[in-house]
Structure 1
């Protein structure tokens, strides 16, 4: 009897300790893109299992009532805004740089922020007399830095999280080195040039600082104004909130990224969404892939870029190229019909991508270069043909090409010959497959699981109510002192001034010498006459 009593008391103590350690976390994930949301969801669900309570604002709620202490505020209506725009993203490529795209869509972002703040359930959370308290704000760092104001409303530290590498404007805010021409700067128009001329580097420098200037002088003040309007409090300068973020989880793993220097409060994560337990394929698709003994190819342009956005010319090039292959082709194609579809091509409006990539008969993945798709392909050892369209996709494909696991094509210049050459190069050369397997092994060989590392850092920030010791003092420096730009300017100005002075002195000396030379014969003649 006493033994049972002791066990019961011990169990109560464990429960009490878990409840005491559990924190209340407010999650803000406002980007309407499942490729973003799956990264955040994995972390929040795992933290919830460890006893932390969540209130999450998300466009893609899991809607699982069995999960306790996990309230979701559904803002999936933001997908309607994207649908209304009816934008063919492929048409942007080559016509609009990141600065133009950012400024064009920002008014829609501002409107979306207002709609989120006006959401009845969210208002109950942040209104002055709500009685809500949070130990941490976990928020996506991308288009809506105005939500950082919630940290002041609840007097809680911020952890940012990004589904891809950070944009330069945010890197500036936290004091990270600004490298305009570096291949990791994905929003730059770096187009894999064979050589860098000074003029090209100057263009990248201009575009970089133009974007940073706009972000800091237009975007941040406007979002501060929106936050103050709804929260009803005076919000600190968002520049200050940004540079004092405790830390940022960045979905970027070293072996598959372009190495660059980072400040201490950038913590690498990655592969969160890649599942260890693959769900079974639908029976008819499983049968089709099992019978593809010569192998099959899988093609998908992701969730934001769709295959039905391809021009008729590009679509016909894919159809013709696929018809010449002995492989089956599984094509994620969003329309009901594909005119001229060859017999070896199967179209699916939705595809269970991880399960398809895990099938042993797969030979090749043709994709748009999305980071999550890249991680899935590496996890299952599938070589790639990359056809980037936007965002960080160029950077991801370039890195895969540099590692010898992919071939890149230009989506604006797709033709049958290039497609066939790329497909045959990757499928017939076993080195692509072997290098991809080696890359997957390298990615797994790390001292600590990235998810467990992210959990430790999250709880570390909660325990210590922030992590100010990770703050980089560079973030406090004005732009002209970053990377000693003022010293370089001073030395350059001094060198130019001395050079100009030296040239003037030489010029004066030369003029004086010429005059003396011209007058000497005249003086000699005068002396002879006298």
Structure 2
């Protein structure tokens, strides 16, 4: 009898929980506009968990998930990859022999801007915008290049911004977070902390230049697209950015510099996107790795840098180096054939990376240093060799090198001898693997997971219809007040008046006293 009562009680509690969950369920518009697989995969566990908790999620994505997920509707933006190809984006970043950051910025602004214009004009997206009966309770969108913020004015609901890496300094400023060009150099700068005096000058100048470029080039371009799609009366992008209630950034203090942030900025980094349930490898890859009795190397330059598009001399360095190694090499390569491919190399157009890194024979991961790739390697205790190409990759590579769980190389100066020496050093020296174990332990030693934090704060915004309570009043201060220029100016002027007055009075007194002494009659 007692057992029956306990069972009924448990069922009642479960039903009550379900009822509460569905009663609080929200309709969420989610958008990840950057045409890059790594940007998409960073948030997949979030969409799945929100849908699992009963929220209805409408997801705009360039890489739809293959599985059918209850409560999740995906709108395919994959055709925007065609726009990226029209502008030869992958060729530009893959064949960049100088790591020219400004070339990457200019190409990215035009290419991603046009890709997002294409996305917003797709029929299925236009149906969301034009249907007057369409409604949502919350908008969650990637804000790396935030043209999709036009949805905020259309639906007039709370909005959460997302980034798959650290946010640009402007976003930190908008959220009221501390941003300093010396402590927090802009993304894209390859500077190692502590900065030298020349590094500080470079960082300050670069910060000013990138902000000027954003103000006079990037923002007007985004405003033009938003007005075309959402109407001529749409607010400018700088006003729409102020509507963001919270910012979720894929940052973890174990891997990133410490930054003072307000409660409306949530750091969820540390392998949040990594699926904890292993999946079986494709048979060919599994057998290749199983047969690697001396160990295997996994080599991938990510989803944006293409191994088939890199310059011939660099690819030849890879081939000649791999030929001399005693290990098997699994190489993510985008063509069917690789001329002069060594016998110990397997090429694959697509690789289930997280599951490959779980294989016990993997000794090292040679990577472009995308943040998601690095997290997947760390969580599986795999040391790294970094070959960064663009964006945040150089900074990630320096961080990895400084923290000791890998070595970074400059692909523009790479030689076969240096490459081979580095591979053998990282594989044979146990300190790199041991350090990756220590970093993984730190990432997982937390009060709650990144996914739990994101979901809790998402539902907080839903429950409270926003998070204006957490808004830092610093956001409303003009530039001159934030930097105390008005106070400094007032004190400066006042000090000048006091000092000037004191000097003038002192001179006057001196002259009077001198005159009195000079005019004093002499005694006979």
Report the TM-score when normalising by structure 2: 0.86
CA distance in 2, matches of 1:490, 1:202: 28
1:436 Cα offset (Å): 0.9
1:469–1:9 CA distance, 2 compared to 1 (3 A): closer
1:115–1:378 CA distance, 2 compared to 1 (3 A): same
CA distance in 1, matches of 2:267, 2:404: 23
1:370 Cα offset (Å): 0.6
Per the alignment, residue 187 of structure 2 pairs with 186
1:97 corresponds to 2:101: yes
Per the alignment, residue 377 of structure 1 pairs with 377
Per the alignment, residue 209 of structure 1 pairs with 208
CA distance in 2, matches of 1:318, 1:238: 44
CA distance in 1, matches of 2:417, 2:490: 54
Per the alignment, residue 20 of structure 1 pairs with 23
1:162 corresponds to 2:166: no
| Superimposed CA distance per residue, residues 81-131 of structure 1 (whole angstroms, 9 cap, x where no aligned partner) | 122233231444636324x5334443343433332232222222222x531
| Structure 2 SS opposite 1:264 | coil
1:242 Cα offset (Å): 1.4
Which range moves more in the overlay, 179-188 or 463-472? 179-188
1:429–1:228 CA distance, 2 compared to 1 (3 A): same
Per the alignment, residue 125 of structure 2 pairs with 122
Report the TM-score when normalising by structure 1: 0.85
Per the alignment, residue 433 of structure 1 pairs with 433
1:402 Cα offset (Å): 1.1
Per the alignment, residue 35 of structure 1 pairs with 38
1:63 Cα offset (Å): 4.6
CA distance in 2, matches of 1:7, 1:448: 26
- Partners of 1:244 and 1:468 within 8 A in 2: no
CA distance in 1, matches of 2:302, 2:14: 47
- Partners of 2:37 and 2:63 within 8 A in 1: yes
Per the alignment, residue 49 of structure 2 pairs with 46
CA distance in 1, matches of 2:474, 2:216: 19
- Partners of 2:296 and 2:329 within 8 A in 1: yes
- Partners of 1:169 and 1:211 within 8 A in 2: no
- Partners of 1:160 and 1:247 within 8 A in 2: yes
| Structure 1 SS opposite 2:308 | helix
Per the alignment, residue 466 of structure 2 pairs with 466
Match for 1:76 among 75, 78, 81? 78
1:57 corresponds to 2:60: yes
1:174 Cα offset (Å): 2.6
| Superimposed CA distance per residue, residues 314-365 of structure 1 (whole angstroms, 9 cap, x where no aligned partner) | 2222222222221111121222222222222222222221122111111111
1:222–1:298 CA distance, 2 compared to 1 (3 A): closer
- Partners of 1:387 and 1:411 within 8 A in 2: yes
1:386 Cα offset (Å): 0.6
| Structure 2 SS opposite 1:254 | coil
1:420–1:466 CA distance, 2 compared to 1 (3 A): same
1:286–1:263 CA distance, 2 compared to 1 (3 A): same
1:13 Cα offset (Å): 5.8
- Partners of 1:298 and 1:364 within 8 A in 2: yes
CA distance in 2, matches of 1:433, 1:494: 61
- Partners of 1:297 and 1:362 within 8 A in 2: yes
Per the alignment, residue 151 of structure 1 pairs with 152
1:247 Cα offset (Å): 0.8
- Partners of 1:146 and 1:227 within 8 A in 2: yes
Per the alignment, residue 115 of structure 2 pairs with 112
CA distance in 1, matches of 2:437, 2:11: 50
- Partners of 2:33 and 2:148 within 8 A in 1: no
Per the alignment, residue 244 of structure 2 pairs with 245
CA distance in 2, matches of 1:374, 1:132: 40
1:343-358, aligned counterparts within 5 Å? 343-358=343-358
Which range moves more in the overlay, 105-114 or 440-449? 105-114
1:183 Cα offset (Å): 5.7
| Structure 2 SS opposite 1:309 | coil
| Structure 1 SS opposite 2:407 | strand
1:22–1:7 CA distance, 2 compared to 1 (3 A): same
CA distance in 2, matches of 1:70, 1:240: 30
**Which runs of 5 or more residues in structure 1 are unaligned?**
506-530
1:452 Cα offset (Å): 0.9
**Which runs of 5 or more residues in structure 2 are unaligned?**
505-524
CA distance in 2, matches of 1:208, 1:141: 19
Per the alignment, residue 135 of structure 2 pairs with 133
CA distance in 2, matches of 1:202, 1:421: 35
1:268 corresponds to 2:267: yes
| Superimposed CA distance per residue, residues 368-423 of structure 1 (whole angstroms, 9 cap, x where no aligned partner) | 10101100000000011111111111111111111111111001011012112211
Which range moves more in the overlay, 113-122 or 266-275? 113-122
1:360-439, aligned counterparts within 5 Å? 360-439=360-439
Per the alignment, residue 511 of structure 2 pairs with none
1:325-340, aligned counterparts within 5 Å? 325-340=325-340
1:473-512, aligned counterparts within 5 Å? 473-484=473-484
- Partners of 2:101 and 2:390 within 8 A in 1: no
1:227–1:269 CA distance, 2 compared to 1 (3 A): same
Alignment length, in residue pairs? Answer: 494
CA distance in 1, matches of 2:173, 2:259: 14
| Superimposed CA distance per residue, residues 37-96 of structure 1 (whole angstroms, 9 cap, x where no aligned partner) | 01122211110100001112111112544x233222111100111222332314446363
1:131–1:187 CA distance, 2 compared to 1 (3 A): same
CA distance in 1, matches of 2:295, 2:262: 45
- Partners of 2:175 and 2:265 within 8 A in 1: no
CA distance in 2, matches of 1:92, 1:194: 28
| Structure 2 SS opposite 1:351 | coil
